[in-house]
């Protein structure tokens, strides 16, 4: 495992930036261990709901975790608003960094992650392979 601390800047799309992280290689598997920061736009998909909910305003990232592969990111996040209310769910595209996002990524050399259709769930699910 190799730690990769990152700072995303104002205006960055959180999911897009993390999703592109492994596209250039050579590592093909990583986990987002934790993230903190602030967002001006939040796009969260709640459990059992197909479309994300859009939130606008000042939001704090309380937790951020997920898996990264060369074919994309699967991230979950909890955020709080200016009144301290907490919401959480699946991170969709369009989560825009307000002041900063500080993210700790753990690179996993020797492994590859992919997303493949799972007949049991009906979704593209994580497949973990150990390199030979």
Task: Tell me the per-residue pLDDT of 65-114, one tens digit each, with 9 for 90 and over.
Answer: 999 998 889 999 999 999 999 999 999 999 999 999 999 999 999 999 99
Residue range 35-58: average pLDDT? 97
Does the pLDDT value for residue 27 go beyond 80? yes
Of the candidates 31, 40, 29, 33, the residue with the CA atom closest to the CA atom of residue 70: 29
Q: What pLDDT is recorded for position 70?
A: 86
pLDDT at residue 25, as a whole number: 77
Residue 24 binned pLDDT confidence (cut-offs 50, 70, 90): confident
- The mean pLDDT value for 39-51 works out to 96
Is the confidence at residue 23, as pLDDT, over 90? no
Q: Locate 32 and state its tokens.
A: 């987002």
Structure confidence at residue 132 (pLDDT): 75
CA distance 23 to 96: 21
pTM of the predicted protein model: 0.92
The token pair at 120 is: 């049991």
**Domain coverage including residue 52:** 2-130
> Where does residue 4 fall: left (phi above 0), alpha (psi -120 to 50 degrees), or beta otherwise?
beta
| Tokens 């602030």 belong to residue | 38
Q: Which two tokens stand for residue 14?
A: 């959180």
- For the record, the structure tokens of 121 come out as 């769930």
- The Cα–Cα gap between 26 and 24 comes to 7
First to last CA, the chain: 17
**Total domain count for the chain?**
1
Mean pLDDT of the chain: 95
Q: Domain with 31 in it: what CATH number?
A: 3.30.1330.80
């Amino acid at each position: 495992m190799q730690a990769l601390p990152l700072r995303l800047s104002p205006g960055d799309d959180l999911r897009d930036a993390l999703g592109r992280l492994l596209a250039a290689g050579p590592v093909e598997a990583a986990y987002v261990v934790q993230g903190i920061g602030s967002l001006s736009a939040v796009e969260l998909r709640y459990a059992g709901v197909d479309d994300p909910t859009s939130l606008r305003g000042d939001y704090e990232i309380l937790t951020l975790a997920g898996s990264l592969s060369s074919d994309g990111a699967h991230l979950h996040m909890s955020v709080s608003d200016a009144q301290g209310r907490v919401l959480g769910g699946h991170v969709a595209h369009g989560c825009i960094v307000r002041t900063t996002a500080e993210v700790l990524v753990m690179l996993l050399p020797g492994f590859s992650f992919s997303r493949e259709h799972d007949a049991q769930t009906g979704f593209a699910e994580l497949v973990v392979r150990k390199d030979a």
